[in-house]
Each structure stands twice: as C-alpha cells, then as structure tokens.
Chain A
C-alpha cells in the first residue's frame, strides 16, 4: 500500500506545555484512520500540523509525499479539512462560501459551479444556496462545511469531530459520506471522541495521550489485545456478595451493575465453570450469564490509564 500521511518524531511545545512528544505514524492511501485521545491529548495540534496551519518544533510530516515544511502549498492542494468548530463564513451565502473555497484551490469556474450545485443538492442545501450561513442550524452548517471540503475532490480528507453535537440524521449522513469517499479512494483522517463512530468507520486507530501515541492498530486487534478486559456478566435469583465472587480464580476485577455483577478475566471459560459451581454450592439459580468482549471504549480507557501511569 502507498503511504498517504507520514509523520516522524513530531514535537510541538506551547510555552511550558509539551503538546506533542515525538509522535510517528503512517496512514495508508484509501484508509480511514481514526485518531482518538482525551481532551488536551494533542489531537488538534497534530491535525493543525498535518494541514499546514502550524509548524512542528521538530520532526517531519508528509502528505502524499509532499513535505509540509518544504512544500506546504502542494500538500495543502491535495487535502481538505472539516474543522471541529463550524466555520463557514456566516456573512456569506452557502453558494458564496463554496465558490470562495473553489477559488482558493484554483478550481476552474465551470467546474466549481457544477460541483457546488451537485454537492448542495446531495446534502439538501440547494434550496438554501442563496441564504446567509448565519441562518443555518448547526447540522446545516456542518453539512455546508463538508460540501466546502468535498468541492475540490480532495485525496486526503481531515475531519476533526465531524459529528459532534449533530442530530442523528445529520451524523449518519456525514458517516455515510465518509464511507463513500473512502470507497472511492480518499484517505480519511478522522479525529473523534465517539468510540462507536471510530469502531464503525475506521480501518485503523491511533490512540494519543499526553502528546504520545499509546497504540496504533485496527479496532478489532486492539480489542483482542486487551484480553484482561474480557468479562462475564452474571445475575442470580437472589442477592450475592460481590466479595465472594471476586475470589473466583482468574477474576481480576468485579463491578456491580444493578442486579448483575461483571467479572473481568482473561479466562471467561474457567470463570463460567466456577460460577456454576458457586451457584450450586450456594443454592442459587443463574438468571442470566453472558460473556462480554471489551468495547473500544474499554480499550481506550485502559490504554489512557496505562499510558498515563507510564
């Protein structure tokens, strides 16, 4: 696979705050790459460096082979950005916003008008094309920003929290668009807090914390690696002591969830054996028993916890 984005040892400091601490990763062409991290982890700083808005103190970043320090304009020509904050010009109409972006990317007039019309129709904004963006709802603004990003048919698309605060319908439309763009060969770099979104969309995920990369892998591999996060959820017909259950072999942690108890283990099979033995010896009936694989959120929290402790 060809490389779309490559960073090597990116470092950035703001005053005394180390925003990025030598991060390196590769994004392959055509993949949807998720970028996850808690607030202040360095996600926005990374995106700003990769979109040529700020320069790193040290390290290199390339987009489609163009070095962002050496050839920033060529790199920027290949990409488009959907920033976290809705920032179409509110005093311009939807159409004027689109045409401005087309002009800034040097898209010929006829092409930008055709593409603009196509996109506004696709995103159900065509009827409002001559309205000022200040009258748009958050969802409409976000759709307009996505139209602005897609106007140039970018080869690399950066999205920073694209569905944050949107209604279900708008969020789904944006997710569908991301999938479609990826299928047609666009590389997508997606920063999000939404684990389910990352799980559904991303081919691979990088978890960043305190300016360093904690893990890079596919969502499924990340879950598989976190064997200690597997769990067995059980409920009995009578209340039981959580302390007694926590003494079962291989159980590393227990959590009471309403009338259920979740037992974390790396060996669910033996825990189920022991639970049935425990129920028999205590005269209890098992009402429900489920094995639960770790969610991406569990993995994320564990990685952040481990990484924070390093």
Chain B
C-alpha cells in the first residue's frame, strides 16, 4: 500500500480533480467569470460589426476556452482554505504538486467540455474546420495551459477570500483577451502590440485556430504548439513553487 510512485500521486491528483468537478462547476464565481461575462463581452464586441464568420468563430472559441479553463482554478484554493478543507487535504499523503495537478485537471476538463459549445455553434452556422486534428490538439494544449495559468493566479496573495483572487484573476484575464488576436487579428496589429501579444498564451491558440479554420497563421503551427507547451511548463512550475511556499500561510 505504501506506494509513492508518480502514478500513485497522479491517481490521487485524479481523485482531487473528481472532487473539484463535483463541487466547483456550479459555483457562482465560476459561472459568472467563466461563462456569463465572456459571453456578454463577446456579444458587446461583435454584434453589429461586419466581421467575417471564421474570425467570429475563432474569437468565440478562444474566449470560451480561455475563460472557462481559467474559471475553476483560481477559486479552489481560497474556497478550500476558507472552508477548512485545505488543512485536511494537506494532512493527507498527497504532494502539493499532485494536489495542484488535480486542480489543473478539473479546470482543464471543464474548459474543454464548455469549449464544445462554440464548436457546435460554429458547425451549425456553417464554419468549415479544415484541420480537425490540429484544432483538437490546440484545444487540449490551450485548455491545459489556461488551467495552469488559473492555478498560478491563485498562488499569491495567500488569501482565503475567493473574491480577492477572482478580482486579481480578472485584472489579468481581460487585458489579455484584447491583445491576443481574439478581437483584432495579430497580422493587423501595430508593431508594439504584436510584441505585447507574443507574451500572451491566448495569442498562440487564436493563431493556431486561425490556421485550422482559415488556413492562415502568423507564427506557424510549430511555434504555436511549442509556445503553448512552454507556457504550460512555466505556469505549472511557478504555480507549484509559489503554492508550496504560500499554502501554509492560508491556514
């Protein structure tokens, strides 16, 4: 029974993910910041403008996967610190990294499931997806990347007030949407904006989605995939390091 292998820790991470999905998918902040706000943001920006259907689809898909994958992650740790569940989790034989990977998995699965909605809408309104396999790969990478980003955003400050974390998370999320090719294609951005856009992981997903739908890419498929993978590693490692340090301060 004393098995501390990687697979054993991943099993425990999966148990955490199952618990997170059961509890958090219907929480108010998750629904508001993960679904409702981005939906209205999308409507307010696109309605009444003559935007080509493929670009509309890419924007909706990018925003949905970005917001929904980042909606559960920031909420979990502060909620659990407040409800005193975090202390119990920390006393069980699960590593901090496995605990966080569990939270990431929950956010990833939630984001991926919600992102099927814009795909269905796109197909209904006649969007043609030329590169299905690549789009699915991009969605997997992007959902995992944004889920890691969400967990990173809850790492500091070590608070047990979910609204504080959600506020900080929104301060980061909303500006990123505007510079990531969701509303304005990267190729149409000014020089300095393109440099700023290159620091956003969402940029690489919208670029990849643009290739899958329109056959047009600014960076190239390889760069997009490598960038998303790089962001995953960066966010995950930094999130684990910071959470390891700050988690006891939340008790």
CB proximity to B under 8 Å, residues A36-84: 48, 51-55, 73-74, 76-77, 79, 81, 83
The complex places the Cα of A105 from the Cα of B85 at a distance, in Å, of 16
Known A54-B248, A76-B93: A106·B1 in contact at CB below 8 Å? yes
Contact yes or no, B91 A77, CB < 8 A: no
Contact yes or no, A89 B85, CB < 8 A: yes
Q: Is A85 an interface residue (CB 8 A)?
A: yes
Tell me which residues across on chain B come within 8 A of A76, comparing CB atoms. Answer: 91-93
Q: Is B47 an interface residue (CB 8 A)?
A: no
CB proximity to A under 8 Å, residues B13-44: 14-16, 18-19, 22-23
The complex places the Cα of A92 from the Cα of B24 at a distance, in Å, of 11
Contact yes or no, B4 A73, CB < 8 A: yes
Partner of B83, one of A53, A90, A96, A103: A90
Binary contact readout B77-91 vs A (1 if CB under 8 angstroms, 0 otherwise): 000000111011111
The complex places the Cα of A105 from the Cα of B89 at a distance, in Å, of 11
Q: Closest chain A residue to B99 by CB distance?
A: A104
Q: Is B12 an interface residue (CB 8 A)?
A: yes
Tell me which residues across on chain A come within 8 A of B91, comparing CB atoms. Answer: 51-53, 76, 79, 81, 83
Binary contact readout B182-212 vs A (1 if CB under 8 angstroms, 0 otherwise): 0000000000000000000000000000000
Contact yes or no, B93 A104, CB < 8 A: yes
Partner of B15, one of A73, A83, A100: A100
Tell me which residues across on chain B come within 8 A of A73, comparing CB atoms. Answer: 4, 93-95
Partner of A53, one of B15, B18, B94, B251: B251
Partner of A85, one of B2, B3, B84, B90: B84
The complex places the Cα of A104 from the Cα of B8 at a distance, in Å, of 9
Contact yes or no, B251 A48, CB < 8 A: yes
Tell me which residues across on chain B come within 8 A of A79, comparing CB atoms. Answer: 91
Interchain Cβ contacts within 8 Å, total number: 76
Contact yes or no, A106 B22, CB < 8 A: no
> How many B residues face the partner with a CB closer than 8 A?
28
Tell me which residues across on chain A come within 8 A of B241, comparing CB atoms. Answer: none
The complex places the Cα of A90 from the Cα of B4 at a distance, in Å, of 29
A153 → chain B closest CB, angstroms = 10
The complex places the Cα of A269 from the Cα of B251 at a distance, in Å, of 53
Q: Is A101 an interface residue (CB 8 A)?
A: yes
The complex places the Cα of A137 from the Cα of B23 at a distance, in Å, of 20
Q: Is A87 an interface residue (CB 8 A)?
A: yes
Tell me which residues across on chain A come within 8 A of B19, comparing CB atoms. Answer: 89, 92, 96, 100
Q: Is A91 an interface residue (CB 8 A)?
A: yes
Tell me which residues across on chain B come within 8 A of A104, comparing CB atoms. Answer: 12, 15-16, 89, 92-94
Tell me which residues across on chain A come within 8 A of B85, comparing CB atoms. Answer: 87, 89
Partner of B84, one of A54, A87, A107: A87
| Most chain A CB neighbours (cut-off 10 Å) among B18, B19, B251 | B19
Tell me which residues across on chain A come within 8 A of B248, comparing CB atoms. Answer: 53-55
The complex places the Cα of A301 from the Cα of B94 at a distance, in Å, of 40
CB proximity to B under 8 Å, residues A76-132: 76-77, 79, 81, 83, 85-87, 89-92, 96, 100-101, 103-107
B191 → chain A closest CB, angstroms = 48
| Most chain B CB neighbours (cut-off 10 Å) among A90, A101, A103 | A103
State the A residues within 8 Å of B (CB).
48, 51-55, 73-74, 76-77, 79, 81, 83, 85-87, 89-92, 96, 100-101, 103-107
Other 5 A-B pairs with CB < 8 A, given A73-B4, A92-B23, A101-B92 = A52-B90, A76-B93, A90-B83, A100-B18, A104-B93
**Between-chain CB contacts (< 8 Å), 6 pairs:** A89-B23, A89-B83, A96-B22, A103-B14, A104-B12, A104-B92
State the B residues within 8 Å of A (CB).
1-4, 8, 11-12, 14-16, 18-19, 22-23, 83-85, 87-95, 248, 251
Please provide the 5 A-B residue pairs with the shortest distance between their CB atoms, ordered closest to farther: A103-B15, A87-B84, A76-B93, A51-B91, A104-B92
